[in-house]
């Protein structure tokens, strides 16, 4: 039976969506992969673009509200921002909680290329972390 992992962020618009996309691609049938937000804000088009550049299509993803039952039934919950880590409801003791304090690429400033560079850097960091997580949690 596959393990269940939930990637949680405030808006479920960029970081958690990218993590879900990479995990679905890298984990195959070993994991059931979900993402959610404490205050869903819609899928960010720059996250879709950054992931497409990496060969992962998340264009069909949607921002989802955190489901307490999903959270309680997860094997691993990964929060990708401080707000989500602080506002995430309690989980049963057997649920492994991990926090990745990653900057929000949605808040990047500068030229369009500067902003896209930020999205790419966060995307690449998330890919590395997801790959390591999946290898260590098998």
The DSSP symbol for 65 reads B
Total structural domains in the chain? 1
Q: For residue 57, give its domain range.
A: 3-136
Tokens 């949680």 belong to 8
Residue among 5, 6, 8, 9 flagged as catalytic:
9
Distance between CA atoms of residues 76 and 114, nearest Å: 33
Active-site residue, 81 included: yes
Identify the CATH number of the domain in which residue 13 sits.
3.40.50.2300
Give the distance, in angstroms, between the CA of residue 1 and the centroid of all CA atoms in the same chain: 22
Indicate if 99 belongs to the active site. no
**How deeply is 73 buried, as exposed, middle or buried, from its count of CB atoms within 10 A (0-12, 13-18, 19+)?**
middle
> Which of 81, 126, 130, 133 does the annotation list as catalytic?
81
- pLDDT at 56 > cutoff 80: yes
Q: Is 74 a catalytic residue?
A: no
Its pTM stands at 0.93
Banded model confidence at residue 88, pLDDT cuts 50, 70, 90: low
**Does the structure show a pLDDT above 60 at 109?**
yes
User: Given 47, 88, 130, 134, which residue is catalytic?
Assistant: 88
- The pLDDT of 51-77, averaged and rounded, is 93
In DSSP terms, 65 is beta-bridged to: 37
């Amino acid at each position: 039976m596959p393990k269940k992992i939930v990637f949680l962020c405030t808006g479920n618009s960029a970081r958690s969506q990218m993590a879900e996309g990479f995990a679905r691609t890298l984990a195959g049938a070993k994991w059931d992969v979900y993402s959610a937000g404490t205050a869903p804000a819609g899928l960010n088009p720059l996250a879709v673009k950054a992931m497409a550049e990496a060969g992962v299509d998340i264009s069909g993803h949607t921002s989802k509200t955190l489901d307490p039952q999903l959270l309680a039934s997860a094997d691993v919950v990964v929060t990708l921002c401080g707000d989500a880590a602080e506002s995430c409801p309690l989980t049963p003791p057997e649920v492994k909680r991990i926090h990745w304090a990653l900057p929000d690429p949605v808040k990047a400033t500068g030229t369009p290329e500067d902003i896209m560079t930020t999205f790419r850097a966060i995307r690449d960091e998330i890919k590395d972390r997801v790959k390591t997580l999946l290898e260590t949690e098998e």
